[in-house]
Structure 1
Amino acid sequence: MLRRLLDSMFGKAPAHAQPGANYVYKIVPHSSVNPRYNFPVPIPASHTFVLSELDAKDGFLHMSRAAQLAGTLNRFFKDDPKVVLLKMDYGRLSGFKIVKWEPSGSGEIFPHLYAQLEGENVEDHLDLEKKPGETSWDAALERARRAGWLQD
C-alpha cells in the first residue's frame, strides 16, 4: 500500500500497468486540418506543444502505445486525412516527467503525461496520411511500421 502511494505521488505506475513500451506516441491534428497545431521543424527543444481541448479538460496529455494507435486514430481522427505522430522514448520521458498508465473508459491501459510536452521530449515526428480510398488508419500505420518508424 505504501509503495502504491509513493508511486502515485512520484508518477511511477504500478508494474502491472506499465506494458513494457519503449516508445509512446502523441497524435496531433495536422496543421492543414487545424492550423492551431502548427509547429516549427526541426522542433526546437524549447517548443511547447499546444494542448487539445480534451487534454486541457482532463488535465493530462493522452498518449498511446504503438499497438493502441489504430484504435485511437479510427475513433477520434477517423475523418481527418492527415495527422502528425509525435514519437517519444518512454524511458527518457518518464525519467523527467510524470507519466501514469491509467485505464480508459473501455478499461484499456493508456499512458497519460501529467506535464507540458516540449520539443526536447520528442524524438521524432511523422506526417501520417491516409491514401485516397482508405477509410481507416490501419494501412497508413502499417506503412509506418514497415518503414521502421513505428516501434513498440
Structure 2
Amino acid sequence: MSDLKPNYIYKLVSYKTPPPSTVASELPEALPISEIDKSSGFVHLSTARQVPNTLKFFFGGDPLVYILRIKYDDVEKDIKWEDPKAEVCGPRGGEGMFPHLYNGFKLGKDEVDDILVVERGDGEWEAAIQEVQGWMIY
C-alpha cells in the first residue's frame, strides 16, 4: 500500500456467522462481534490489496465469505494502522500494516457501503478474487 489513503477498506465475515442481510442498508446498527475481534479489542479490516491473503490465511476452509465494503473516510477517525501484532505505526501504514477499527465495535448499516458474497468454488480463493476485482475499490 502506498502512503495514499484508501477509498475503501474491507471486513471479511465467515459463512459461519453471516450478516443478517446482504443489503447494506438493511443491516442493524451494529453487527455481531467475531471472536477474534472481541479478543483483540478492535475490528480487524483489510485493504483491497490485503483481501486475497486474508482470505487464504484466515478463511482457507470456508466455502464462502461475506466481504463488507466500508468507505474509509466514514471511519478514518477510528482507524489505527497496525502490524499484525497490533503495534501502531502511524496515520497510514505500509504494505504489512492493517486498518483496525477502534469505535466500540460499531460496524453496521452506517459504516457498510456494500456487501458481496464470494464463493471459493473448487479451487483456491484466487479465482474468486479475480471475479470481484471490479467491485473491490482501492
TM-score by length of 1: 0.75
Q: What whole-Å deviation, never above 9, does each CA across 1:76-112 have from its counterpart, x for those lacking one?
A: 10010100000011012225xx11111114x910000
2:18 to 16, 31, 37: 37
**TM-align CA RMSD:** 2.0
The 1-side partners of 2:137 and 2:63 are apart by: 22
**Counterpart for residue 3 of structure 1:** none
| Bigger relative contact order (CA 8 A; separation at least 6) | 2
CA distance change for structure 1 residues 130 and 112 in 2, over 3 Å: closer, same or farther?
same
* Corresponding position of 1:103: 83
Query: Which residue number in structure 2 is paired with residue 69 of structure 1?
Result: 51
Off by >6 Å, runs of 4+ in structure 1 = none
Percent identity at matched positions? 33
Out of 120, 127, 133, the residue aligned to residue 139 of structure 1 is 127
Aligned partner of 2:41 among 59, 65, 74: 59
Q: Which residue is 1:149 aligned to?
A: 135
User: Aligned partners of 2:59 and 2:14: how far apart in 1?
Assistant: 8
Q: Which runs of 5+ in 2 are unaligned?
A: 86-94
Q: Matched residues in 2 for 1:18 and 1:28: separation? A: 27
More strand by share: 2
The one-character-per-residue Cα deviations of 1:64-86 (angstroms, maximum 9, x if unpaired) are 00100111110010010100000
| Unaligned stretches of 5+ residues in structure 1 | 1-16
SS at match of 2:49: helix
Do the aligned partners of residues 110 and 18 (structure 1) sit closer, same or farther apart at CA in structure 2, a change above 3 Å counting? farther
Higher percent of residues as helix? 1
Q: How does 1:16-31 map to 2 (within 5 A)?
A: 19-30=4-15
2:76 paired residue number = 94
Judge conservation of contact 1:141–1:150 (CA < 8 Å) in 2. no
Structure with higher Rg: it is: 1
